């Protein structure tokens, strides 16, 4: 079973509707298809990716002329998309972000790309195709998946564990016992970012639900249950129990993500509750040796290795306007943008869901562990 973090919603349009709209709209010989593309323009990586797109567009799509619209970023871009959604002026293709995508999709203004990418084989380029799927099983956005393998893990200082004879916990109770032992000897058990409720309200709550009953975590995402569910209540109680046991640093509610990570990398805490995007940095540390493990099971019979969380939202990525005059060509432009995005990240050595064939160099032991886990999960889940 797989769980994916995303924004829930309803609605959406399909290819069949699009085909009805585009009948008789073929371009004249020699004419170029004109499309409008809006991208994030405030992010350094996205700016470089746009350069790749502009440099290679003419060769890849010679019959397409693109009007590039800078979208800004963050709240500014979200507000711009909301305005376009309300006025019916969405671009043919835009870089969607989860904070604005739910309303656009619910209004039926985000094309269902599932049939397109399946029939033209584009979906075959993904190691884990299901990571693109929204909770309704459809694909609305395309991305290279640089964040597909971002998932919660507990990093630990191997020297501290060896010094005090600590074993990797197999159950939540064992983790709680480790935290109590470390607290007794004066060592901060686990650094977590508590500022603004980041850890407890975001990944810890979902993780604590998942380690007891993964189906409840999925049901929450699909609005089939709510936080009055007994499993959700148990999850919240476990977070409180860890806090009362002294698992977290003093003043954790004021501890930022950066400060929590630095507490661990400087050796002041034995563990760090973070995400796998930290793997490259953790593997490069010279003063301490770091390993990682999954949040352990809170219920007998629940195998935590059989579920995971995809933290790359399926509503992040290149989306297509279903009301555009040339939807099929717009889909091709979205696919091309993903190819360029993947090329950029692959050349940086990133691990991607979209397979480019570009060699990224030797994987570290930590990255091999993440990769082998994901591939084994894919095999067992018949993805």
Q: Going by DSSP bridges, is the β-strand pair 188-191/290-293 parallel, antiparallel, or unpaired? A: unpaired
Can you give the pLDDT at residue 167?
Answer: 97
Q: What percent of the chain has pLDDT over 90?
A: 61
**6 pLDDT higher than 90:** no
Can you give the pLDDT at residue 264?
Answer: 96
Contacts of 11 (CB under 8 A, 6+ apart): 105, 106, 107, 108
**8 pLDDT higher than 80:** no
pLDDT class for 375, splitting at 50, 70, 90? low
Can you give the pLDDT at residue 365?
Answer: 76
Are the CB atoms for 149 and 366 separated by under 8 Å? Answer: no
Can you give the pLDDT at residue 28?
Answer: 52
Can you give the pLDDT at residue 373?
Answer: 65
For residues 233 and 326, what is the distance between their CA atoms, to the nearest angstrom? 49
**Contacts by 176-183 with C-beta closer than 8 Å and gap 24+?**
176/241, 176/242, 176/245, 176/247, 179/242, 179/245, 179/246, 179/247, 180/245, 180/246, 182/270, 183/245, 183/246, 183/247
**299 pLDDT higher than 60:** yes
Can you give the pLDDT at residue 113?
Answer: 98
pLDDT tens-digit readout, 59-116: 999 999 999 999 988 788 989 999 999 999 999 999 998 878 999 999 999 999 999 9
Can you give the pLDDT at residue 258?
Answer: 87
Can you give the pLDDT at residue 279?
Answer: 81
Highest mean pLDDT among 12-21, 140-149, 267-276, 366-375 belongs to: 267-276
Name the one residue in this structure whose structure tokens are 């033209």.
120
Structure tokens at 12: 């959406």
Q: What is the DSSP string of 12-78?
A: -B-HHHHHHHHTT-PPPTTPPEEEEEEE--SSHHHHHHHHHHHHHHHHH-TTEEEEEEE---HHHHH
| Mean of per-residue pLDDT scores for the chain | 86
Can you give the pLDDT at residue 363?
Answer: 64
Angular region, 341: left φ>0, alpha ψ -120 to 50, beta rest: alpha
pLDDT tens-digit readout, 315-326: 999 999 999 999
Contacts of 62 (CB under 8 A, 6+ apart): none
pLDDT tens-digit readout, 327-358: 999 999 999 999 999 998 888 767 788 999 88
Can you give the pLDDT at residue 53?
Answer: 97
CA angle 196, 200, 202 (to 5 degrees): 80
Structure tokens at 48: 């470089």
pLDDT class for 360, splitting at 50, 70, 90? low
Contacts of 95 (CB under 8 A, 6+ apart): 38, 39, 40, 46, 71, 317, 318, 319
Can you give the pLDDT at residue 308?
Answer: 73
In Å, how far are 27, 63, 354 from 58, measured between CA atoms?
Answer: 18, 8, 22
The 10 Å CB-count burial string (b at 16+, else e) for 319-347 is bbbbbbebbebbbbbbbbbbbbbbbbbbe
Can you give the pLDDT at residue 371?
Answer: 65
For residues 167 and 15, what is the distance between their CA atoms, to the nearest angstrom? 53
Question: What is the torsional sign of CA 126, 128, 134, 136?
Answer: positive
Q: Which residue has the higher pLDDT, 45 or 120?
A: 120
Average pLDDT over residues 140-144: 96
Can you give the pLDDT at residue 327?
Answer: 97
pLDDT class for 310, splitting at 50, 70, 90? low
pLDDT tens-digit readout, 187-239: 999 999 998 887 887 789 999 999 999 999 989 978 899 999 999 999 999 99
pLDDT class for 281, splitting at 50, 70, 90? confident
pLDDT tens-digit readout, 44-69: 778 899 999 999 999 999 999 999 99
pLDDT tens-digit readout, 240-275: 999 999 999 999 999 988 899 999 999 999 999 988
Lowest mean pLDDT of 140-144, 305-309, 314-318, name the range: 305-309
Write the burial class of residue 49 (CB in 10 Å: 0-12 exposed, 13-18 middle, 19+ buried): buried
pLDDT tens-digit readout, 10-30: 333 444 443 433 333 444 546
Can you give the pLDDT at residue 74?
Answer: 79
């Amino acid at each position: 079973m797989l769980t994916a973090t995303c924004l829930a919603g309803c609605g959406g349009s399909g290819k069949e509707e699009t085909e009805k709209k585009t009948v008789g709209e073929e371009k004249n010989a020699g004419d170029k298809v004109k499309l409008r593309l809006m991208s994030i323009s405030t992010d350094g990586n996205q700016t470089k990716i746009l350069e790749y797109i502009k440099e290679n567009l003419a060769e890849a799509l010679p019959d397409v002329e693109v009007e590039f619209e800078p979208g800004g970023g963050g709240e500014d871009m979200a507000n711009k998309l909301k305005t376009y959604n309300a006025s019916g002026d969405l671009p043919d293709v835009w870089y969607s972000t989860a904070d604005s995508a739910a309303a656009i999709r619910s209004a039926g203004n985000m094309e269902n790309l599932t049939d397109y990418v399946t029939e033209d084989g584009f979906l075959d380029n993904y190691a884990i195709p299901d990571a693109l799927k929204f909770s309704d099983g459809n694909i609305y956005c395309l991305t290279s998946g640089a964040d597909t393998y971002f998932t919660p893990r507990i990093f630990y200082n191997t020297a501290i564990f060896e010094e005090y004879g600590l074993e990797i916990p197999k159950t939540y109770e064992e983790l709680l016992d480790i935290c109590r032992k470390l607290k007794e000897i004066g060592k901060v058990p686990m650094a977590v970012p508590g500022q603004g409720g980041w850890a407890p309200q975001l990944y810890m709550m979902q993780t604590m639900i998942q380690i007891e009953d993964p189906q409840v975590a999925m049901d929450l995402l699909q609005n089939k249950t709510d936080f009055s569910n007994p499993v959700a209540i148990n999850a919240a109680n476990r977070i409180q129990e860890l806090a009362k046991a002294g698992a977290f640093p003093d003043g954790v509610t004021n501890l930022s993500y950066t400060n929590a990570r630095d507490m661990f990398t400087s050796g002041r805490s034995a563990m760090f509750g973070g995400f796998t995007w930290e793997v490259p940095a953790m593997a490069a540390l010279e003063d301490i040796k770091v390993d990682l493990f999954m949040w352990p099971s809170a219920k007998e019979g629940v195998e935590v290795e059989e579920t995971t969380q995809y933290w790359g939202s399926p509503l992040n990525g290149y989306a297509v306007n279903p009301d555009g005059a040339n939807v099929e060509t717009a889909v091709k432009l979205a696919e091309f943008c993903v190819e360029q995005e993947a090329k950029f990240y692959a050349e940086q050595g990133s691990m991607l869901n979209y397979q480019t064939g570009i060699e990224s160099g030797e994987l570290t032991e930590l990255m091999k562990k993440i990769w082998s886990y994901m591939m084994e999960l894919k095999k067992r889940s018949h993805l």
